[in-house]
Structure formats: structure tokens, C-alpha cells
Amino acid sequence: MAVTRPVGRAPAWSWTAGTAIAGILLVLLQVPTTTGTYGLALGAGIPLGLLQGLALPLALRRPLLATAVQFVAAAATALVVDPVDGHAWPLTVPGVLLLVAHVGLLAVSRGWRPAALVWGASLGGVACLMAVQVGEWGSETAGDITVAVYAASSLLVLVAGSVWQQRSRLAGELSAAQRDVAVEQARRALVEERTRIARELHDVVAHTMSVVHMQATTARFRLPDLSSGAAAELQQIAGSAKAAMAEMRQLLGVLRDDGANAPVTPTPTLADLPELVAGTARGGTAARLTVDPALAVREVPEIVQAAAYRVIQEALSNVVRHAPGAPATVDVRLAPDGRAIELSISNPPSASPGPGLDVRDTTRARHGLIGIRERAALLGGWSSAGPVPGGGWQVGAHLPLAAEVPVATDLPDHGVAAGPGAAP
């Protein structure tokens, strides 16, 4: 059974330490009282006092055992000490404090029901002890006053502890409910944002891709003088547009789903890289792929494979757009320490700059490279991009196999910047 404690106010270790200190202090009062005032032998007074003090911290973890220890020690003490005129009996003053503290701890940690049972049992036990002792010593004792003081003080502590426990429980439930509401609000905000993005993609991008597909497909019928080479290229454009629309439909389905029933779609892996490079070559950009054989025997997480595929895809798109005619070289290898994948996508200078390159439009030019950087950073890696000696451009990425997601504000920046021949 777990310990119930005031949520957010006192952790379990502080309660244990506090009750242990209280138990020690009360033992330091109980032992001198029983051995000095009541004449109990040290050999009996010290063990009995220690048992009563030990029962306090034990009540937080093992309430039944602690209550049994407390009752046995208190009863044994009451039976072996003789009443002394002017002093509490059958319980000593420290003994009363020990029992009151025990009832209060049970009320705080277990609730009012267990504490009330212990309170009633303790009153019954004290009454029985007093009856036995009165029969032996007579009625001229302070037993009635002691029992009344214990009953009133322990009842007050029981009520106060129970109220505290109830308030703490309600505060914990309220805090949990507030967290649930915050999570639900965040989820709804995310769903609304995903729906908005899906709507924008459908209204703008999907429509544009449909127009591209239609124009490329019907060009050979609308343009009778179209050469066979141009017709083949337009057919490739139509195929690429169709594939892009299919991927767009999958993306829209994921974005419009609330997350609970999101469709499971295949994610790209390293095995899909040859087809990606071949598709780039079919589009008119020669590309060569080299994959480290060591990767074939290594277990690469799916998220790392997908990130590697997307990085290479974006880098090849940069070459096609901004370095037309320049061949691309893709190198995928295992890092020397065997703990990461290293990517390198490079191309020599292009004979003519791509029509989409506009060094003045720095915001647009950096989007693709920023995406590469963020993909790498989210895996705990890094990326780089820039010109190489002798001309040309190179994009590199280091993707750890054991991905660690850093805090967003700590995303590394390794100088990713747009430049001639590969601006995204």
C-alpha cells in the first residue's frame, strides 16, 4: 500500500526523516521519565522506549506492524511501572505524546478510518490497563485525567490529520485533472493546426500538382510538333507529379487524423535509396550511389533510415534545381566509431546556374537546408553544407544510430547556409 502524503508539499523521504527525529526526541524523554520518575530499570526502560520511538517512522511504511509494536511497548511499560503521586498513569506524558503522534501519522498517511480504528483500540487498551492497575493499586491515581487528556488530544490530532490528508488528496486529484485538461487542450490545438495545414496543402499544393500532372499528360496531344525526347521528359514529369500527389494524399490523411487512428504508412529506408537515385537519373541528373557494406549487418533504427532518406532526397533536389547538368555523388557510410551514419551528397559546379536560384531570396533559399539541419539535430546529430575546393557543393550529415532528442533551444548549428549550386 502506497503512502499517501500531501501532494507537492512533503516528499516521502522528508516525512520519514521528520518522524524519525520526532521518535528520537520522544524516546529521549520517555526513557529518563520511566527510569527516573517511575523507577523502571534501564534494562527494561531503554528497549521499551526504543520500540515506541521506532514505531513512528515504521507507521509510514508498515502501519499494522508499527501499531502492534507501539501497543505492545506501551502496554508493557504501563504494566511494569508503578503509579507515582502527581504524575500521569498508566501512561507517562512522553508515552501519551508517542501514542498521539502515532494516531496523527496514521491519519495523515492512511486516512481517517485506519486512524480512528487505532484511536478506538488504544482507548480501549488504556481503559483495560487502568482497570487492571486500579484493582491492584486502588483508585487513588491520576488515571482518569491521563485517559481524558489522551482521548481529547489524540482525537484532535486525528481530525486535523484527516482533514490535511483529505485536502492533500483533493489537491492531488485537482492537479492531475488540470494536467489532463492541459494535455487535452494541447492535443486539440495540435489537431486543429494539423487540419489547417492539411487544408492549405489540399487547396494550394495538391491543386497545383494536379494541374502539372494534367498539363504534362496532355502536352503530346496539345502540341503536335513536340519531339519524342520532350514527350518522354513530359511523361516523366507527369509520373513524378502523380507520385507526388499520391504521397500528398497519404500526408493529408495523416494530418487530418487526430492521432489515435493515424494510418500506418511505409516510411522510406536505406533500401529505397537506389530507386531514389535512379529516379534522379531518369530526370536528367546523373547520380552515383555508394553504400557502406558494413551497414548491411548493422541494425539501423527506422527513424534514422527515414531521416537519411529525406536528407539525401532534399540534397538531390537541390542539385536538380540549382545545378542542372551537374552529376551528383551520394555516399552513405558507417562512422569510424560505428555509432552513426555519415552522409555526403556532392556535385561539381554547373555549367549554368539553375533558374530557381536567387541569392537575394535568403529566406526561401535556406528552407531546405534548415530542414536537413533540423532532421539531423532531432536525432542528436549535425549537418553541414557549403562550397568545396575547386568548385561545386557538398551537403553532409552525421546521424547517430542511438538517437537522442535534444531540447529545442539546443539544436546545433554547424554553419548551414545557402550557396551557389545547392540552395534549396
**Residues 26 and 60 placed together within one structural domain of the fold:** yes
CA atoms of 380 and 399, how far apart (whole Å): 7
**Residues 293 and 188 placed together within one structural domain of the fold:** no
Among 246, 265, 284, the domain boundary falls at 265
Give the pLDDT of residue 39: 76
**Residues 166 and 120 placed together within one structural domain of the fold:** yes
CATH of residue 411:
3.30.565.10
**Percent above pLDDT 90 for the chain:** 15
**Residues 258 and 300 placed together within one structural domain of the fold:** no
Among 265, 280, 296, the domain boundary falls at 265
**Residues 55 and 35 placed together within one structural domain of the fold:** yes
CA atoms of 12 and 1, how far apart (whole Å): 14
Q: What number of other Cβ atoms are within 10 A of residue 79's Cβ?
A: 11
Give the pLDDT of residue 335: 94
CA atoms of 100 and 78, how far apart (whole Å): 16
Nearest Cα to Cα of residue 313 among 266, 279, 265, 290: 279
Give the pLDDT of residue 268: 86
Give the pLDDT of residue 265: 52
Residue 16 burial class via C-beta count within 10 angstroms: exposed 0-12, middle 13-18, buried 19 and up: middle
**Residues 279 and 158 placed together within one structural domain of the fold:** no
Give the pLDDT of residue 418: 34
> Digits of tens for pLDDT over the chain (424 positions)?
334 444 334 446 777 788 888 888 888 888 888 888 777 888 888 888 888 888 888 888 888 898 888 888 888 888 888 777 667 777 888 888 888 988 988 888 888 888 889 888 888 888 787 777 665 555 545 567 778 888 888 889 989 888 888 888 888 888 888 888 888 887 777 777 777 777 766 666 766 777 787 888 888 888 888 888 888 888 888 888 888 777 777 777 766 665 545 444 567 889 999 999 998 888 778 999 999 999 988 888 888 998 999 999 989 988 888 888 889 999 999 999 999 999 999 999 876 554 444 433 444 445 678 888 888 988 889 999 999 888 889 999 999 997 544 433 333 343 333 333 333 3
The number of folded domains in the chain is: 2
**Residues 108 and 1 placed together within one structural domain of the fold:** yes
Give the pLDDT of residue 327: 92
Q: What number of other Cβ atoms are within 10 A of residue 332's Cβ?
A: 20
**Residues 196 and 272 placed together within one structural domain of the fold:** no
Torsion (CA) 215, 217, 223, 224 in degrees, nearest 10: -170
Three-state SS letters, 151-218: HHHHHHHHHHHHHHHHHHHHHHHHHHHHHHHHHHHHHHHHHHHHHHHHHHHHHHHHHHHHHHHHHHHH
**Residues 153 and 216 placed together within one structural domain of the fold:** yes
**Residues 280 and 257 placed together within one structural domain of the fold:** no
**Residues 193 and 294 placed together within one structural domain of the fold:** no
Query: Which structural domain range is residue 223 located in?
Result: 1-265
Among 265, 297, 317, the domain boundary falls at 265
**Residues 272 and 186 placed together within one structural domain of the fold:** no
> Partners of 289 in the beta sheet?
330
